[in-house]
């Protein structure tokens, strides 16, 4: 449980043994949770930095975590699911809630069956991050593209590298400090961002990228340098700069005016780069977490067919049942944005 907004993870997080069991509404399923994967949204909700739209739905205290896997206990009579089904579930937008608990309710549209051969820990990772990676690859990556991914070793990046490869990307570079991990996922070139800037690399200027995908790490400087340095093709040659977070990955939105100023920092750039073919096109991917029918089944099938490998941060708590110290550790990893792969907490053994 988290009793209020704040930034002191060790003081905020607590465990309760008598919190009420959730009551399912029509159109929902009741899930006995087995594992929960964290996302950056969990940190934003906790800190209250975007409380205008990512506030706890039912006030405080609230249960954090939203991407989960488990076993269905209860459904509607006409549901496509039944008790005993093994499933994964993504949180309901716009905020992750309720996953770090023994039981959780979820809308059926956000739930998908998982095969018996898939672990609950792996399944929990194939939710929001996998969806963002899948939608981004499907929307923007074309066969033969040269792709640069900013933030290649995070929960989205480790999946996007593989999905871009599946879409036929001819060359993939990515920023990370974990070179061996990214090469194992299919990256052709890994840029240690602590030692060099992607916009200074001569071979990229000689043979520029078709697309740069900024997974919330680049900020405005990366777009500016990509545009000015020549490492990204201009729009007239198909060049695109795609971001899922805009200029400020750790944005603060507490009201309508801040929402407006955030959008106005992005939308004019989206418009003018469409009208100016000599610069790359700037794309803000607002539909990265769009859920359409069958999309999670498609992602699961990629894993089953050997085309997608789940990457779990080695510091994740995957060998024991729910433990407060493990939860705090996981939140610290997410807060520092230092995860290599998905950070997962096992809720039940």
The 3-class secondary structure across 296-320, one letter per residue, is HHHHHHHHHCCCCCCCECCCCECCC
Q: Provide the pLDDT confidence category of residue 251 given band limits of 50, 70 and 90.
A: confident
CB-count exposure of residue 227 (10 Å: 0-12, 13-18, 19+): buried
| Long-range CB contacts for residues 72-75, cutoff 8 Å, separation at least 24 | 72/29, 72/30, 72/31, 72/32, 72/111, 73/30, 73/31, 73/32, 73/103, 74/24, 74/29, 74/30, 75/29, 75/30, 75/108
How high is the mean pLDDT of the chain? 95
Q: What is the mean pLDDT of residues 89-103?
A: 95
pLDDT tens, 278-292? 999 999 999 999 999
Least confident of 31-35, 137-141, 215-219, 296-300: 215-219
Is residue 348's pLDDT more than 80?
A: yes
- Our CA dihedral for 117, 119, 120, 124, rounded to 10 degrees, sits at -100
Does the model's pTM come out above 0.85? yes
Q: How far apart are CA 305 and CA 287, in angstroms?
A: 26
Q: What is the mean pLDDT of residues 204-219?
A: 92
CB-count exposure of residue 222 (10 Å: 0-12, 13-18, 19+): buried
Is residue 249's pLDDT more than 90?
A: no
Q: What is the mean pLDDT of residues 244-248?
A: 83
pLDDT of residue 321: 75
Q: What is the mean pLDDT of residues 319-327?
A: 85
Q: What is the mean pLDDT of residues 104-123?
A: 97
Residues whose CB falls within 8 Å of the CB of residue 155, separated by 6 or more in sequence, listed in order: 37, 39, 125, 129, 339, 341, 342, 343
pLDDT of residue 294: 97
């Amino acid at each position: 449980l988290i009793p209020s907004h704040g930034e002191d993870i060790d003081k905020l997080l607590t465990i309760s043994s008598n919190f009420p069991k959730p009551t399912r509404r029509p159109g929902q399923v009741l899930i006995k949770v087995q594992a929960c994967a964290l996302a950056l949204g969990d940190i934003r909700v906790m800190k209250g930095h975007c409380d205008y739209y990512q506030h706890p739905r039912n006030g405080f205290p609230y249960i954090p975590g939203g991407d989960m896997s488990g076993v269905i206990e209860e459904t509607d009579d006409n549901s496509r699911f039944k008790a005993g089904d093994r499933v994964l579930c993504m949180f309901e937008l716009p905020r992750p809630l309720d996953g770090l608990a023994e039981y959780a309710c979820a809308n059926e549209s956000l739930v998908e069956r998982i095969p018996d051969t898939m672990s609950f820990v792996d399944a929990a990772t194939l939710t929001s991050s996998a969806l963002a990676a899948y939608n981004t690859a499907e929307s923007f990556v074309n066969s033969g593209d040269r792709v640069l991914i900013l933030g290649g070793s995070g929960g989205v990046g480790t999946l996007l590298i593989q999905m871009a490869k599946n879409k036929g990307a001819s060359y993939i570079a990515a920023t990370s400090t974990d070179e061996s991990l990214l090469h194992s996922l299919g990256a052709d070139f890994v840029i240690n961002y602590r030692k060099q800037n992607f916009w200074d690399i001569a071979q990229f200027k000689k043979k520029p990228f078709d697309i740069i995908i900024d997974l919330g790490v680049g900020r405005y400087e990366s777009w500016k340098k990509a545009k000015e340095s020549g490492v990204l093709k201009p729009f007239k040659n198909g060049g695109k700069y795609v971001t899922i977070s805009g200029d400020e990955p750790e944005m603060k939105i507490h009201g309508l005016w801040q929402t407006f100023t955030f959008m106005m920092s992005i939308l004019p750039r989206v418009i003018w780069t469409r009208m100016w073919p000599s610069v790359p096109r700037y794309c803000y991917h607002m539909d990265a977490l769009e859920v359409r029918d069958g999309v999670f089944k498609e992602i699961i099938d990629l894993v089953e067919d050997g085309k997608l490998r789940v990457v779990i941060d080695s510091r994740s708590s995957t060998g024991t049942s729910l433990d407060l110290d493990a939860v705090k550790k996981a939140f610290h990893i997410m807060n520092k944005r230092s995860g290599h792969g998905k950070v997962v907490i096992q809720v039940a053994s």
